[in-house]
Amino acid sequence: MLPPVIYSAMHHLFVTYMFAAGGLAAWLRTKPLTRRLVAISLESIGFTNRANIAPALRRKRVDKDNPNITVWTFETNGIPLKAWDDRRAELETALGVIIVQAKYERGNQRVVLYTVPAESDLPDYLPWKDEYLSDKSFVLMLGKGYAGPVSVNLADIPHILLGGSTGSGKTILMKVMIRQAVQKGAEVAIVDFKGGVDFPPFWRDQLRLCYDDKTVLALLDDYIAAIESRKTLLFKSGQSNIDEYNLANNAHLPRYILACDEIAEMLDKTGMPKERKEQIGQIESRLSVIARQGRAFGVHLILATQRPDANVLSGQIRNNISCRICGRADNVLSQIILDSTSAADRIPKEAKGRFLLHDGTEFQGFWLDEGTL
C-alpha cells in the first residue's frame, strides 16, 4: 500500500498525463486535416503552381503582439508574392478571412499572411481627436486599419505621395497630417495654386501659403539652404539626423514640411509657354534634391494629386517617395500610385476616406472637422 500523499500525487499525475496525451492525439489528428482543408480551398480557386500544387500551410498561430490577428505561414511552392496580392479577394473568400498584410519570409520561400476574421469591418466615419496625437517623433496618425491604428513615421519614411479621385478624401487626410505636424512643432508650407480657398483662416494663421511659381521657388531655395546648413551642423557634431542632433545638443531644429494639395497645378507643363516651363523645371530640380536628401535633415514632402503620371511628377521624384497612399481610384491611378491596381480592386466605389498603403494596409482615414479648429 502506498502512503495516501504519494497515491494522490500519482493519481493526479496520471490524470494530467491522460489529458495531455488526449490533447496531443487530437492535435495530431486535426493539424493534417486543417492543412489538407486549406490546400483544398486553395485548389478550388485554382491558386496553384504549374504542377497544380497549392501552397502548403506550414503554421497557423495567433500574433503575439495583437491577439486579433491570425498569422498563416505558407510554403509558396513557387507562387510569387505578387500573385497573392493580385488574388487577395479570392484568397480571402477561400480562407474565410480578411488579409491585412502579405509578405515574404526567409527570402521568397515562404509567404506570411496576417489576417483578421471575415466579419471584421472598418468604420465609415472616423473623426480626428487631438488625443490621438502620437508622442513619438515624428509619427503622424493616419486612421484605423483592421489590425489597429495606422501611422507613418517621417523620421523613417520622409515623403508621402497621396492619390485618389475627386471626393476620395485625400485633401482631408492631408490636412489631418498637417494638423499633427504643426502640433509637433514643424514649420509647414502649403502650395495651393487655387489661391488658398480650401484653407480657411485657421490654416493661414499657422502655415505659409504659396500661390505662384515665384513664391514656391523662394520657399524651395530656403529648404535647400536649410539642408546644406544642417549638413554642416550634423557633420561637426557627429550626429546622423536632426533628432540625434536635437537630443545631443539640447537644440530645437524644426522639421520643414512642404504640402501640395494638387501637384498637377504646380508641375504640369502641358500647353505651358516656354518661360513657365523653365520655372517648372527649376521647381522640379529643387524638389528632386529634397526628395533625395531631406530625410536626415528634417525636410519633407507631402504631395497629393489625382493623376501623378510622368507629365506631372518625374520618375526621379516619385522613386524617392517610398510612402504611397491611394484612396478611391481607377486602375490607371492605382497603378501609378501603388504600382498595382489594388486600390481599384479593394476600395469600394462609394467609399470616402478609405485608403490603401503601399504595403497593402487598408484603413479608414481620420476626418478633420475644420469648424472646430
In this predicted structure, the answer to whether residue 6 has a pLDDT above a threshold of 70 is: no
Q: Answer yes or no: do 210 and 234 share one domain.
A: yes
Contact 313, 264 (CB under 8 A): no
Cα gap 328→281, rounded to integer Å? 30
Q: Answer yes or no: do 102 and 174 share one domain.
A: no
Judge residue 312's burial from the number of C-beta atoms within 10 Å of its C-beta, 0-12 exposed, 13-18 middle, 19 or more buried.
Answer: buried
Whether residue 321 lies inside any domain: the answer is yes
In this predicted structure, the answer to whether residue 266 has a pLDDT above a threshold of 70 is: yes
227-260 residue pLDDT tens: 999 999 999 999 999 999 999 999 999 999 999 9
The pLDDT of residue 341 is 86
Joined grid coordinates for residue 154: 517621417
The pLDDT of residue 8 is 56
99-139 residue pLDDT tens: 999 999 988 899 999 999 999 889 999 999 999 999 998 99
Q: Answer yes or no: do 134 and 103 share one domain.
A: no
The pLDDT of residue 169 is 92
* Residue listed under C-alpha cell 494530467: 16
CATH code for the domain of 74: 3.30.980.40
Joined grid coordinates for residue 304: 497629393
37-61 residue pLDDT tens: 999 999 999 999 999 999 999 999 9
* Residue listed under C-alpha cell 500551410: 57
Whether residue 18 lies inside any domain: the answer is yes
Number of domains making up the chain: 2
Write the CB contacts of 348 (distance below 8 Å, at least 6 apart in sequence): 328, 354
Per-residue pLDDT, averaged over 309-334, amounts to 86
Q: Answer yes or no: do 298 and 251 share one domain.
A: yes
Cα gap 193→264, rounded to integer Å? 10
CA torsion 102→106→107→113, rounded to 10°? -10
- DSSP β-bridge partners for residue 145: 148, 363
Q: Answer yes or no: do 138 and 111 share one domain.
A: no
CATH code for the domain of 295: 3.40.50.300
In this predicted structure, the answer to whether residue 214 has a pLDDT above a threshold of 80 is: yes
Cα gap 260→215, rounded to integer Å? 13
In this predicted structure, the answer to whether residue 211 has a pLDDT above a threshold of 60 is: yes
Q: Answer yes or no: do 175 and 295 share one domain.
A: yes
Q: Answer yes or no: do 143 and 85 share one domain.
A: no
Q: Answer yes or no: do 106 and 202 share one domain.
A: no
pTM, entire model: 0.84
Cα gap 361→59, rounded to integer Å? 22
Q: Answer yes or no: do 134 and 113 share one domain.
A: no
Q: Answer yes or no: do 259 and 305 share one domain.
A: yes
**How far apart, in Å, do the first and last CA atoms of the chain sit?**
83
Cα gap 139→175, rounded to integer Å? 15
Whether residue 125 lies inside any domain: the answer is no
The boundaries of the domain holding residue 196 are 130-372
Whether residue 124 lies inside any domain: the answer is no
Cα gap 129→138, rounded to integer Å? 18
Q: Answer yes or no: do 12 and 85 share one domain.
A: yes
Quote the percentage of the chain above a pLDDT of 90: 60
Joined grid coordinates for residue 345: 480592386
Instruction: Please provide the average confidence, as pLDDT, over all residues in the chain.
Output: 88
Q: Answer yes or no: do 306 and 347 share one domain.
A: yes
Whether residue 338 lies inside any domain: the answer is yes
- DSSP β-bridge partners for residue 367: 127
